Amino acid sequence: MKKMRKILKKLIRSSKGCYDSIEVRTMLLQFTFENYKSFKDEATLDMIASSIKEHESDVAVDAFGERVLKVAAIFGANASGKSNIFKAFKFMINYVKKSLEKNGEQSLIATPFAFVADLEDFVSSFEVLFSVNSKVFQYGFRLKNHEVIEEYLYEREQDTKKEKYSLLFYRRPDEIENLVKELEPAQALLELADNKVLFLSILKNFKFGTIQEIYTWFEGVSLMDYGEGLSDEEHIPFVIDSKNPLVNILKTPYRKQALEKFVRAIDAGIEEFGTMDVRNGSSDSELGNSTKKEKNFILTFHKNVDDNELSPMLISHESSGTRKLIALYVHLEQVLESGGVLFADELDAKLHPLLLRYLINMFHDPATNPKNAQLIFTTHDVFTLDKDNFRRDEIWFVDKDDRGVSELYSLAEYKQENGMKTRNDASYGKDYILGKYNAIPNLKRLTEESVQDGE
């Protein structure tokens, strides 16, 4: 590995096609995976809009005239596999970004579908179709026994009306085929790399324009997991630190004003934000129950009930719901500013349904989302599941059969028992609870369960 890094440094210095820092807009078109956790068969989350006509303004258009969704909501019962879609997506993003640096770490090991007789020869696959400005790429890889057995990268041709793709590279174990000339300087490194390392992870260290564009898409993905019981501070630390994105917002006047406008709009009771360092003369008594161990503070300011003057409070003393909203806003601002992808697991946790609707509208509204950022999230919140909030192709369900196999499907394509698709004037939430789309818990009385067990 040391030898590989030395050669890598030399090749990086000699590589051409430097990629200038420019405004980049990215979108996810499709995510496809197979044999990962509860998903035994291939599943595709398709962000390409269907031909349905409702909420036309909620759809973005890419450089090829393709209509792309800005929002996707994934519903399903507990343990149905909703979070496994998030985890599969997270696994792919992290594998691309970290397989070279963190080769062999447990977090980069794919977990296959478990309920089969032989797990030794499992093959898991991951693929994304995405756009970066005026270009569209298709990238994917397959893993067998935790090693890369296939990896490929295509770019959509721009001079043809039909959808046609050119191969940029095709990787088999220990060899590269159809490598375009631009990427040839990196070919020698594959011979020195472990079979657990992706070729794209190697290429990201070069200044190849195409690869830098592609890697910009992976960097533009933001992942938030509220399904693992993480505290809000683990998403955004509420301490003064130069690397804390919340602190950077507070240091920029227009960004600070936008945050304050947001918390006032959602009625969080906060008027302003600030920072304070007790080493610069402030006393603990000014901050209520703070301790001397806390040296650097991020503060919220609330109006006094008697004179409307503003009083400071440690942000750590806000409710967990308020802290989540603030942490969430930081991620929202970043993705709305850059036009990237935000994938959140259990986004509705600790959020009032009206607040969730407010966030969905932020992504639908071109005024607040001019760069077509995308929000993908898993949820149990049926309150928002209606025709006013979503197009039918934005609504996705996950159902698990009696074999433990999960299936992903959209409301736009789902056919009910009578063979009919769902009309756009249907009561989505009510029908979902009634079991018309499946993907709900199959609940039994405890007495019924005891009878089936022969007790």
Are 184 and 75 in a shared domain? yes
Is position 14 within any domain? no
Rounded CA separation 68/369 (Å): 14
Q: What pLDDT was estimated at residue 265?
A: 87
Please state, in angstroms and rounded to a whole number, the distance separating the CA atoms of residues 17 and 181. 12
Q: What is the CA radius of gyration of the chain?
A: 24
Same domain? For 352 and 382 the reply is yes
Q: Which pLDDT does position 292 carry in this prediction? A: 43
| Token digits of residue 33 | 């995976």
Residue 12: per-residue pLDDT: 44
Q: Please tell me whether residues 277 and 355 are part of one structural domain.
A: no
Segment among 44-53, 104-113, 373-382 with least mean pLDDT: 104-113
**Is there a domain that residue 12 lies in?**
no
Whether residue 171 is predicted with pLDDT greater than 90 in this model: the reply is yes
Q: Are residues 128 and 154 in the same domain?
A: yes
Domain shared by 168 and 38, yes or no: yes
Residue 121 lies in a domain: yes
**Same domain, residue pair 29 and 144:** yes
Which residues are CB-neighbours of 149 under 8 A, at least 6 positions away? 123, 142, 143, 172, 173
DSSP string, 247-296: HHHHHSHHHHHHHHHHHHHTT-S--EEEEEEGGGT--GGGGTT--TT--E
Whole-number Å distance between alpha carbons of 330 and 435: 37
Query: Are 428 and 390 within 8 A, CB to CB?
Result: yes
Residue 262 belongs to some domain of the structure: yes
> Are both 369 and 267 inside the same structural domain?
no
Residue 19 lies in a domain: no
pLDDT at residue 113, as a whole number: 85
User: Which of 116-120, 134-138, 385-389 has the lowest average pLDDT?
Assistant: 116-120
Tell me the range of 6-15, 296-305, 375-384 where mean pLDDT is highest: 375-384
Indicate the pLDDT class of residue 380, thresholds 50, 70 and 90: very high
**What confidence tier does 18 reach under pLDDT thresholds 50, 70, 90?**
very low
Q: Look at residues 292, 319, 338 and tell me which one is the last residue of a structural domain.
A: 338
Shared domain for 304 and 323, answered yes or no, is yes
CATH number at residue 79: 3.40.50
CA distance 82 to 79: 8
One domain for residues 50 and 132: yes
Question: What SS3 class is residue 71?
Answer: strand
Compare 168 and 104 and report the one with higher pLDDT: 168
Strands 221-225 and 341-345: parallel
151/263 same-domain check: no
The encoded tokens of residue 437 equal 């789309």
Amino acid 280: pLDDT: 46
* Contact assessment for residue 26 and residue 216, using Cβ atoms and an 8 Å cutoff: yes
Task: Based on the fold, state whether residues 109 and 198 are members of the same structural domain.
Answer: yes
Q: 286, 321, 338: which is the final residue of a domain?
A: 338
225 falls within a domain = no
Q: How far apart are CA 234 and CA 331, in angstroms?
A: 13
Please give the distance of CA 127 from its chain centroid, rounded to a whole number.
15
Domain end position, chosen among 338, 360, 395: 338
Residue 453 lies in domain: 25-220+341-455
Q: Average pLDDT, whole number, for the chain? A: 83
Range with the largest mean pLDDT of 31-35, 54-58, 217-221: 31-35
Q: With both helix axes pointing from N to C terminus, report the angle between 82-98 and 209-219 in degrees, rounded to the nearest 10.
A: 140
Q: Which two tokens stand for residue 165?
A: 């793709």
Residues 264 and 160 in one domain: no
When pLDDT is cut at 50, 70 and 90, the band that residue 119 belongs to is low
pLDDT in tens, 178-206: 888 888 878 877 777 788 899 999 888 77
17 within domain boundaries: no
- Is 259 a member of any domain? yes
Flag whether pLDDT at 450 surpasses 60. no
Q: How many domains does the chain have?
A: 2
- What's the predicted TM-score (pTM) here? 0.86
Residue scoring higher pLDDT (214 or 290): 214
226 vs 399 pLDDT, higher one: 399
Q: 54 — phi, psi (to 5°)? A: -70, 150
Using DSSP, state whether 357 is helix, strand or coil: helix
Cβ distance 212 to 15 under 8 Å?
A: no
